[in-house]
Amino acid sequence: MSAKGRVAVFISGRGSNMVALVEAAKAPDFPADVVLVLSNRPDAAGLAYARQQGIATVAFDHKLYSDRESFEHALQHTLESKNIEFVCLAGFMRLLTPWFVGQWRNRMINIHPALQPLYKGLHTHERALADGVKIHGCTVHFVVPEMDAGPIIAQAAVPVLDDDTPDSLGARVLAQEHLIYPMALNWLASSRLSIDGARVSLSGADPREAALIAPALS
């Protein structure tokens, strides 16, 4: 078995964050390997990329399960059979029960396109624009039963510009998601994170590394 941490990435759609994780993990010194890409939607676009990369893929159509528990038991069985150590949620648009979250306590992380604790849920860029905030961003956090919440590992902030639309702002945020998610997984898989309540600290580095401030656009 590989000495690197074995990672499953959960997707529901495009999978650009999954691609960022897979690409980062190709570096010889990256401490984790993406060995499984799992989707709750058989038509998720990201599955094709994973297959091309020779990564195992599996789709569990949640609509075919009578309840969340049976769906999640199927997920858990697959993760155990593949000796998965870490789970990365990457645009996985399915709420997970406290039971499943408990199985992966401190080993499952998520990326969310907002500066938590703001804007949990959907349409984060529209809501940021409607509120007139000048700074927006993204967050990687440990998963807890509450949606889009949990101890924060890394955040990136971007400026909101006068002529932004949800799409232009979302694209600026997404570019930062692709930077901070691999960074956070690297720290997790190399056992550099410790959690104290809501606070996560990073060993072996300047702790300011955990916040990226994207420069203003010229």
Residue ranges that bind ligand GAR, judged by CB under 6 A: 11, 13-17, 90-91, 111-113, 148, 174, 177
Min dist CB 213 to ligand GAR, Å, is 19
Compute CA distances 20 → 14, 91, 185, whole Å: 12, 13, 11
Q: Which residue is nearest to ligand GAR (CB)?
A: 91
| Nearest Cα to Cα of residue 115 among 133, 97, 142 | 133
Question: What's the CA angle centered on 189, arms 33 and 182, to 5 degrees?
Answer: 70
Is residue 204 within 8 A of residue 187, CB to CB? The reply is: no
Angle at CA of residue 193, ends 104 and 196, nearest 5°:
80
Catalytic residue among 112, 125, 136, 141: 112
Contact partners, residue 57, CB within 8 Å, separation at least 6:
36, 37, 38, 39, 47, 50, 51
Q: Which of 171, 189, 179 is nearest to 210 (CA)?
A: 179
The one-letter amino acid at 94: R
136 is catalytic: no
Give least dist CB 182 to ligand GAR, A: 12
Nearer to ligand GAR, 16 or 155 (CB): 16
To the nearest whole angstrom, how small is the minimum distance from the Cβ of residue 92 to ligand GAR?
Answer: 7
* Nearer to ligand GAR (CB atom), residue 112 or residue 172: 112
Please state the closest distance from residue 204 (CB atom) to ligand GAR, in A. 27
| Active site amino acids | 112
